[in-house]
Amino acid sequence: MDVFDTDQASKAAPASEDRYRLLVEAVTDYAIYMLDPQGRVMSWNRGAQRFKGYSDTEIIGQHFSRFYTDEDRASGLPARALRIAASEGRFEQEGWRVRKDGTLMWAHVVINPIRSDDGTLIGYAKIMRDLTERRAAQEALRQTEDRYRLLVEAVTDYAIYMLDPQGRVTSWNRGAQRFKGYSDTEIIGQHFSRFYTDEDRASGLPARALRIAASEGRFEQEGWRVRKDGTLMWAHVVIDPIRGDHGELVGFAKITRDITERRNAQLELEETRARFIQAQKMEAIGQLTGGVAHDFNNLLAVVLGNLSLARKRLPPDRKLKQLIENSIQAAERGATLTKRMLAFARRQELTTGPLDVPELVRGMADLLQRSIGPNIQVGTRFPLQLPLASADPNQLELALLNLAVNARDAMPQGGTITIAAQEERVGTSEIAGLAPGRYVQLSVTDTGEGMDERTLAQAVEPFFTTKGVGKGTGLGLSMVHGFAEQSGGRLLLRSTKGQGTTAELWLPVAEASGTRGGEPDPDVARSAAALRPMTVLVVDDDPLVLMNTSAMLEDLGHEVMEASSGEQALRILRRSGTIDLVITDQMMPGMTGLQLLEAIRSEHPRLPVILASGFSELPDSALTGLVRLSKPFEQAELMRALVMSLEPEGQVLPFRSKQG
């Protein structure tokens, strides 16, 4: 190298050192300074001055331990840091450091040894960065995370937990433990599919739920979930994906709520609403049925009355008489159907009295056997002593016949029907719809096909039938149901598919006084011959019924006056000279039969009145001492009502108008 090159190199070295010094001194985001082997400050850059607060003239020559807290100095940390740096080539740490003004900062410190070419330690390079703000942010984040963790862990009304991407449980809060029954030590690390039913697992629902959550951002469902003890709960489940800073899937957040009670309450509400709607429907059908039955009763009254009169006037023609008898039987079958309709509507006229149930069953044994056929055996089972039931014997016979026919239809291949009775005592709220007291439980049990739950629930609905087209009206059980409730009792059905059916008819025990049902009332046993010819006022808005009733009365030898309304009847009473008895329909527009009765009682209190109606929904106070004639009626029943309307002495006191 020539002289020129040597001189240039000697000048370049100091220039390079100046550049490094200027570079270090210009840095303000890092404190970069040099210590001698004993730890005294030898250089000081702007970053050090900015962080520590000392100028170079204040700090150069001072020991670097003054930047440490009293606790760190007492523990010998400054000397240990230099020793580690010298021996291991590096010392790195984060910790509290003290500024000139005594405040603290959180610093990241790196100390490296500085050695000469021959390896001699000539000092240390110390680089420090103030991380106070970052640490404060991290601490705030940590505190926030802790608060969220405490919040989640404290929640008991929701199961909130995390899953890893494969579906294994990674966290577990108190709500999860409360709902599922697992502690965190039992469940963390386990797959969440164990909460699903066998059917859901078999269908792949757990994996599908995670897949939907990951692809669509959310999965939500209600369904059955399994607790640790194996019991089921109805749960509302939401699964959300958890993603990292770069969108990668790191797990799932799962929130579950036990809504079993809410679901049960909702189902109960819906069931109550359905029952209410059904009750409204039944009431509407009952109103319709009652109205139809009323009109049908009027038509049947005309048909039966006219046929009865025609039968009395027939010439000696056997074939013609047979035609009339067939017509009467057909009309009577129509009357039976009407009674079923009124029984369903709870409007049929009942003649309730003490009734010996075993005696009634024995009395209709032949009828029952003929009705169900020879391939079905009928057996009875009654106790030696059974109290009398309070019921209408005719309606009870009809109810028993319906139950027996239903049992027969349930056994197309034959079987056994058992009719039994026993006394039962009912306490408060033991059986819905039954008041506490004593009852006669009359049951009809078959060995037939039985009913499933759905059929059993609909069995007493009107027009519901499982029989083929044309093989049933669907009114049989509804009639029995209506009759039982109107009698103060209840119809209960018990059935299992394939194991037969038992129909229980609960009837109140009769009071001790009174005659047995079916026995004639002594007052009714009077001979019709005792009746002298009377003047009878007949009131009915139906002209056919009016004409028919008048014809039957005239055939019995009585004089008849007719009125088509209550108002017209009162006008006739006020202007007529003599009227011995009034027969009035109940259901009339403008003025009902009871309203007419009240008007008659106020003006003519001793005038006998017969109320003709097929309805039983009449106030008891108005029926005291009142003779009633159930529609449809024949001449014999009309004669019986006339006899019952007589005074105890057997005399009919004529009514004289005030003008007469």
- The CATH homologous superfamily for domain 155-258 is PAS domain (3.30.450.20)
| pLDDT, tens digit (0-9, with 9 covering 90-100), for 296-326 | 777 777 787 788 777 777 777 777 877 777 7
Q: What is the pLDDT of residues 601-621, one digit of tens each?
A: 888 888 899 998 765 555 555
- CA separation (Å) from 299 to 287, 633, 634? 19, 11, 12
The answer, yes or no, to whether residue 291 has pLDDT greater than 70, is: no
Determine the pLDDT at residue 62: 94
Is the pLDDT assigned to residue 60 strictly greater than 80?
yes
Q: Is 318 left (phi over 0), alpha (psi -120 to 50) or beta?
A: alpha
Kindly report, residue by residue over 566-597, the tens digit of the pLDDT.
Answer: 999 999 998 887 888 999 998 888 899 889 99
Flag whether pLDDT at 652 surpasses 50.
no
In this predicted model, what pLDDT tens digit does every residue of 491-523 receive, in sequence order?
Answer: 888 888 888 889 888 999 987 644 444 444 444
Q: Is the pLDDT of residue 646 over 80?
A: no
Domain boundaries, the chain: 3-131, 155-258, 353-508, 523-656
- Residue predicted with more confidence, 400 or 634: 400
3-state SS, residue 182 = coil
252 three-state secondary structure: strand
Per-residue pLDDT at 329: 76
Cα torsion 441, 444, 448, 451: sign = negative
3-state SS class at 562: strand
- Within this chain, domains 3-131 and 155-258 share the same CATH topology: yes
Long-range residue pairs from 93-96, CB within 8 A, at least 24 positions apart, any chain: 94/131, 94/135, 96/69, 96/72
Tell me the average pLDDT across 253-282. 81
CB proximity list for 397: less than 8 A, separation 6 or greater = 360, 364, 367
What CATH topology corresponds to 3-131?
Answer: Beta-Lactamase (3.30.450)
What tokens were used for 113?
């040894």
Q: Name which of 56-60, 375-379, 648-652 the model is least confident about.
A: 648-652
64-93 CB burial, b ≥16 within 10 A, e <16: bbebbeeebeeeebbeebbebbbeeeebee
Residue-level pLDDT at 270: 84
Of residues 98 and 299, more confidently modeled:
98
Listed in sequence order, the DSSP H helices in 425-514 are 453-458, 476-486
Distance CA 524, CA 462 (A): 36
62 contact partners, CB below 8 Å, separation of at least 6: 40, 41
* CB atoms closer than 10 angstroms to residue 274: 10
- Return the CATH class of domain 353-508: alpha beta
Rg of the Cα atoms in the chain? 52
Helix and strand numbers (H, E) in the chain are 21, 22
> Tell me: domain 523-656, CATH 3.40.470.10, correct?
no
Phi/psi at 40 (5° precision): -85, 145
Average pLDDT across the chain, whole number: 80
Residue 364: predicted pLDDT: 80
Q: 415 or 652: whose pLDDT is higher?
A: 415
- Contact 181/227 with Cβ under 8 angstroms? yes
**What does the pLDDT read at residue 40?**
95
593-603 helix and 566-575 helix, angle to the nearest 10 degrees: 20
**Out of 154-163, 467-476, 644-653, which region has the weakest mean confidence (pLDDT)?**
467-476
Nearest to 467 by CA among 415, 416, 409, 411: 409
Instruction: Specify the pTM.
Output: 0.41
Percent of the chain beyond pLDDT 70?
78
